[in-house]
């Protein structure tokens, strides 16, 4: 099943110069980058992206964190792209994310600690949580003509 998913290198990931490392992991896994941009989103856009979390106690900190610097958003396409992206990213709280995942390898602060300090959970990266979320997020972040269709040299071997 070919799906699309949205990935965001969050401000902590951009500031720690992890963009290349993160892109590489998606490319290595056979997920095709079909759109990519650097954006410094404003509060309103962040609140739309994280609308599902509006009632959560960490919402304000989350919006502050995601708007504190530029992010790199990219859309990927591939077999089970949603689940496979989540597996590359790892569990939400860095202390639960397995080694080998992006969060397990590069993030350190647990969500519980971040909440106690009134900080947004700095976990380096976002990936859509479901197919529905992916479709909505890609529509929010990318115009139709910013997404591209092409064949990679690897596709013949991946499929």
Cα distances (Å, whole numbers) of residue 87 to 57, 65, 82, 93, 109: 26, 23, 9, 14, 19
* Shortest Å, Cβ 79 to ligand UDP: 21
- State which residue, 96 or 155, has the beta carbon closest to ligand UDP: 96
Stretch that binds Mg ion, among 5-13, 43-51, 104-112, 121-129 (CB under 5 A): 121-129
- State which residue, 60 or 148, has the beta carbon closest to ligand UDP: 60
Question: Contact at 8 Å (CB) between 130 and 3?
Answer: no
The reply on whether position 129 binds Mg ion by CB under 5 A is: yes
Q: Which of 18, 114, 134, 138 binds ligand UDP (CB under 6 A)?
A: 114
The reply on whether position 58 binds ligand UDP by CB under 6 A is: yes
Is-catalytic flag, 126? yes
- State which residue, 100 or 148, has the beta carbon closest to ligand UDP: 100
Dist CA 76 CA 86 (whole Å): 12
* Shortest Å, Cβ 145 to Mg ion: 27
The reply on whether position 120 binds ligand UDP by CB under 6 A is: yes
* Marked catalytic residue, from 126, 148, 154, 157: 126
**CA nearest to 119, candidates 111, 131, 130:** 111
Which residue in this structure is represented by tokens 């610097």?
69
Residues 80-90 as b or e (16 or more Cβ within 10 Å = b): ebbebbbebbb
């Amino acid at each position: 099943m070919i799906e699309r998913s949205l990935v965001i290198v969050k401000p902590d990931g951009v500031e720690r110069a992890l963009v290349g490392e993160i892109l590489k992991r998606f490319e290595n896994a056979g997920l095709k980058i079909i759109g990519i941009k650097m954006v410094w989103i404003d509060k309103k856009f962040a609140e739309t992206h994280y609308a599902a979390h509006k009632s959560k106690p960490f919402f304000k900190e989350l919006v502050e964190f995601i708007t504190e610097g530029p992010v790199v958003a990219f859309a990927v396409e591939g077999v089970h792209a949603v689940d496979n992206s989540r597996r590359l990213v790892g569990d939400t709280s860095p202390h639960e994310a397995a080694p080998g995942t992006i969060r397990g390898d590069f993030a350190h602060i647990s969500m519980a600690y971040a909440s106690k300090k009134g900080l947004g959970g700095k976990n380096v990266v976002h990936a859509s949580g479901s197919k529905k979320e992916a479709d909505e997020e890609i529509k929010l972040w990318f115009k139709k003509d910013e997404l591209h269709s092409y064949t990679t040299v690897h596709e013949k071997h991946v499929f």
